[in-house]
Amino acid sequence: MAKQYGEKLKILFLRDYLLKYSDENHTVTVQDMLNYLSGRDLPAERKSIYRDLKTLGKADAEKGQEYDNTSPDHYGMDIVHKRGNYYVRSRAFTLQEVKLLVDMVQSSNFITRTKTRQLIEKITSLASVYEAQTLNRTVYVRNRVKAMNESVYNNVDKISEAINNDGVISFQYFTYNLQKKKELRHNGKIHIVSPFALIWVDQNYYLLGYNHEYRELRPFRVDRMTRISLQDGPRLGKEDFEKIDIAMFTTKVFHMYTGEVKLVRMRFMKFLADAVIDRFGEEVMLIPDGEDAFTVTTEVAVSPQFYGWLSGFGSSAEILAPQDVREEMAKHTRSILNLYS
């Protein structure tokens, strides 16, 4: 029985060894495989290695014949055999895809520095140890702003569970003070919310949920939520949520600060076309206005964050209509100017 158990383990360790220590530039021999298994108290014979290689992905590993990808009689690993040397040619993720995942983790404000390092270590294990070394030469946990709240991962799990089970949650909201300590907002007020969607915006997770007190859909930043718990009670706001196109919703709001949605007409200099498309999507209509500018008419959740985004372009962007939004923009810029007058 112990021998049979060892045989089952052997092929698993052999698979892991090939994935970890072989690639196109780093091949291994049958003797390398025997030494690796022996170091783990799993002695094997050459013939058994050839059988295992055939099971894992070769039609005839000993003779070096290629295998048929469509054949059901092997595990399907893409093992290449050349003159007594073996390596895994392709994996579930290419090196470029692994690098992309690493970059996404690094660039996320939502993921803390500690979790960033942990995730990068796990992601790079998808490549061989040699490919991982090339990644490590170019991968750095950049000195960018990262989330301080480690419990955010538990928050996402609890919210997802509530969404999947059509549940209601309660939570408190907090901010950081000058000492970087958490302070509950609104005297520790408990929010009762029917959660509907988790949205990734501006490098942070937001919950879009129906606030039972104010009877409306509102976004809540997940890493600022604490003491989340499931609650009994009727789930509200389903009809309101079903009316929303999430993709369109995220183009209307700025940094997830909601405001009254209005149809706004704006004029931009031509060189800002990319910025406008990035903000409002590829479907937005860019209407030429002279040789050097264009206009855009789109729905916007009017808020100070919207005015801040627009003022970042200086005199290269202008609100044309409606007049009340134009006047609010003027008031916004004057209030800033007054600080420096």
Assign residue 325 the CATH number of its domain.
3.30.70
Q: What is the domain-level CATH number for residue 45?
A: 1.10.10
Three-class secondary structure assignment of 162-202? HHHCCCEEEEEEEEECCCCCEEEHHHHCCEEEEEEEEEEEC
Instruction: Tell me which of 237, 271, 286 is where a domain ends.
Output: 237
Strand order in the sheet with 260-269: 287-288, 293-302, 260-269, 317-321
Contact status, residue 228 vs residue 170, Cβ threshold 8 Å: yes
* Stated length of the chain: 341
Same domain, 313 and 334: yes
- Of 128, 146, 145, 147, nearest to 136 (Cα)? 128
Show the domain range for 41. 2-90
124 in the same domain as 99: yes
Return the closest-CA partner of residue 87 out of 42, 10, 23: 23
The DSSP code sequence of 74-130 is S---EEEEETTEEEEEE-SS-HHHHHHHHHHHHH-SSS-HHHHHHHHHHHHTTS-HH
Residue 267 per-residue DSSP state? E
Classify residue 330: in a domain, yes or no. Answer: yes
What's the Cα-to-Cα distance from 252 to each of 245, 280, 313, rounded to whole Å?
A: 11, 7, 18
- Number of structural domains (the chain) is 4
User: Coil, strand, or helix at residue 35?
Assistant: helix
Residues 167 and 216 in one domain: yes
Q: Does residue 247 lie in a domain region?
A: no
Interaxial angle between packed helices 95-107 and 113-124, expressed in degrees from 0 to 180 and rounded to the nearest 10: 180
Per-residue pLDDT of the chain (341 residues; tens, 9 = 90+): 355 556 789 999 999 999 999 999 999 999 999 999 999 999 899 999 999 998 898 544 445 455 444 555 567 888 998 888 999 998 889 888 998 888 888 777 777 778 888 998 999 999 999 988 877 655 554 445 566 666 777 888 899 889 988 999 999 999 888 887 889 999 999 999 999 998 887 777 889 999 999 999 999 988 899 999 999 889 999 999 999 888 788 888 867 677 888 999 999 999 999 999 988 888 899 999 999 999 999 999 899 989 999 999 999 999 999 999 999 999 999 999 999 98
In a domain, 165, yes or no: yes
3-state secondary structure of 273: helix
Give yes or no: residues 207 and 282 share one domain.
Answer: no
